Amino acid sequence: MTLLVHTRAELAEARAGLKGTVGVVMTMGALHSGHETLLRAAREQADHVLVTIFVNPLQFGPNEDFDRYPRTLDADLEVCRRAGADVVFAPSVADMYPDGQPRVRLDPGPLGAELEGASRPGFFHGVLTVVLKLLQLTQPDLTFFGEKDYQQLTLVRRMVRDLDVPVEVIGVPTVREPDGLALSSRNRYLSEPERAAALSLSAALRAGARAADDGLDAGAVLTAAQAAFGAGTPGARLDYLVLTDPELEPGPSSGPARLVIAAWVGATRLIDNAAIHLAPRP
């Protein structure tokens, strides 16, 4: 049985009833198979699964999609039930921020101003603040984050390490549509032609990974990825396409690397990333 709770008091009571290890999956709802994979990973690795569903106003910029973000609680509960979640915590904004917007917010450090943080100022302050609050409220042993939001996963890991938060962060590989598009709640915004244009992101990542597998160097990997992006169905506008090391520090010239991409498709901003293995330099 899946118990739905809305308030802190209800959550505290439900949490006290969970004996054994607890895995928490944080979401903004509009659940899809990517979320379901996180829930199933939690189901396998923890005795109990607690899901949070909260569209966090703190991480949205003034011109972003907070108001229009899909809210589909009934369908989300069905997904949670199917995946065997024990508790769903779906607070209101007033439940989460009873004193209004918090004046104290977590500083994500320099990486918080790069990539997603450069395009969405204040985004990671809002994300890390709500993640820490939800960790405090739910007290998990394990918490699961998708690699699709790779910079978010990296910063959550860093926060947990830097602030000694007693939880294990588990990264879950990106779930994709058969044609390569990374599942994302924002895919719901896409029209049919935009859906076709959105494939430019994953095509760029695939081309970059192929170039690295062929032994090409970092510069050529990036060039191959840019060319594949440009050759996709018109309609996607690149925000960034960057080759970094696995910690999102500036690009390595050999060994493990990460190709990260963000693009606008119409009014929708999508992100994706892939692991790249650069050949050893001669």
Ligand X SMILES: Nc1ncnc2c1ncn2[C@@H]1O[C@H](COP(=O)(O)OP(=O)(O)OP(=O)(O)O)[C@@H](O)[C@H]1O
Sign of the alpha-carbon torsion through 231, 236, 239, 245: negative
- Should residue 174 be labelled a site residue for ligand X when binding is judged by CB under 6 A? yes
- Compute the least distance from the CB of residue 278 to ligand PAF, in Å: 28
Whether residue 149 is annotated as binding a ligand: the answer is yes
Whether 125 sits among the annotated catalytic residues: the reply is no
φ, ψ for residue 156, nearest 5 deg: -65, -45
Q: Interface residues with ligand BAL (CB under 6 A)?
A: 59, 149, 152
Q: Interface residues with ligand PAF (CB under 6 A)?
A: 26-28, 56, 59, 127, 130-131, 149, 152
Please choose which of ligand X, ligand PAF, ligand BAL, none residue 212 contacts, taking the beta carbon within 5 to 8 angstroms, the exact cut-off set by kind: none
Closest by CA position to 114, among listed 254, 275, 242: 242
Please choose which of ligand PAF, ligand BAL, ligand X, none residue 175 contacts, taking the beta carbon within 5 to 8 angstroms, the exact cut-off set by kind: ligand X
Cα–Cα distances (Å) from 66 to 56, 77, 267, in that order, read 8, 21, 13
Cβ pair 230, 197 in contact under 8 A: no
Closest by CA position to 163, among listed 132, 121, 207: 132
- Should residue 131 be labelled a site residue for ligand X when binding is judged by CB under 6 A? no
Whether residue 34 is annotated as binding a ligand: the answer is yes
Q: Which stretch binds ligand X (CB under 6 A): 2-10, 109-117, 144-152, 210-218?
A: 144-152
Structure tokens at 212: 């690295």
Nearer to ligand X, 165 or 216 (CB): 165
Q: How far apart are CA 75 and CA 155, in angstroms?
A: 30
Burial of 144 (0-12, 13-18, 19+ CB in 10 A): buried
> Which positions lie near ligand X, rule CB under 6 A?
27-28, 34-35, 37-38, 145-146, 148-149, 172, 174-175, 182-186
Annotated binding residues = 28-35, 59, 146-149, 152, 175, 183-186
Q: Which residues are catalytic?
A: 35
Annotated binding residues for ATP = 28-35, 146-149, 175, 183-186
